């Protein structure tokens, strides 16, 4: 199992074309999503996210009005203050995202989340691998994209390729 973030980033970049071929392979070969989810759960049990927290440094998190309200209650702050101090408009769309500092998410302290109990859904569900909400085919582009930042994603993807007998092309 690879957990070094520098190594994962390097390997994932090297395997970018292979992952595109793998995504195309999956479109023509149908494997049950349950195998992928089972592998993901096994990998998730072996890797402590608090030892990494790279997702909190590398990804942007959309927050809904309801999630802003939840954060406001958790922080005992007015909603408007939470919006002003902890969010920004997403420059790419009309969503609101959590603010980032040079160290990552505004709520990240070392490798720990200061609002863990009230964190947005995107944070609770990341890396989205064991979810039953969307088919694997619909999520595979996102899985491949996140392989370079998350040890769980990278290792799950590699184990899944091996489990289904995918041969590097």
User: So what's the pLDDT on residue 118?
Assistant: 98
Higher pLDDT, 109 or 132: 109
User: So what's the pLDDT on residue 79?
Assistant: 97
Average pLDDT across the chain, whole number:
91
Answer yes or no: are the C-beta atoms of 153 and 145 closer than 8 Å. no
DSSP state, residue 74: H
User: So what's the pLDDT on residue 143?
Assistant: 87
Which of these, 45, 59, 31, lies nearest to 130 by C-alpha position? 45
Mean pLDDT of 16-31: 90
pLDDT at residue 12 above 80?
yes
pLDDT at residue 137 above 60?
no
pLDDT at residue 106 above 80?
yes
DSSP state, residue 1: -
User: So what's the pLDDT on residue 131?
Assistant: 64
Spell out the residues 6+ positions from residue 50 whose beta carbon is closer than 8 angstroms to its own: 111, 112
Q: What is the pLDDT of residues 71-101, one digit of tens each?
A: 999 999 999 999 999 999 987 888 999 999 9
């Amino acid at each position: 199992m690879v957990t070094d973030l520098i190594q994962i980033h390097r390997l994932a970049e090297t395997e970018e074309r292979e992952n595109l071929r793998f995504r195309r392979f999956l479109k023509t070969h149908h494997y049950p999503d349950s195998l992928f989810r089972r592998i993901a759960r096994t990998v998730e049990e072996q890797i402590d996210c608090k030892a990494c927290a790279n997702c909190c440094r590398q990804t942007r998190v959309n927050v809904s009005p309801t999630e802003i309200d939840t954060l406001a209650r958790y922080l005992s702050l007015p909603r408007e203050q939470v919006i002003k101090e902890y969010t920004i408009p997403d420059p790419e769309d009309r969503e609101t995202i959590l603010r980032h500092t040079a160290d990552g998410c505004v709520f990240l302290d070392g490798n720990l989340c200061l609002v863990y109990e009230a964190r947005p859904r995107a944070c609770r569900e990341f890396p989205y691998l064991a979810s039953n909400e969307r088919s694997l085919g619909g999520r595979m582009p996102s899985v491949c994209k996140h392989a370079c930042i998350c040890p769980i994603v990278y290792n799950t993807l590699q184990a899944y390729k091996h489990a289904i007998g995918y041969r590097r092309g």
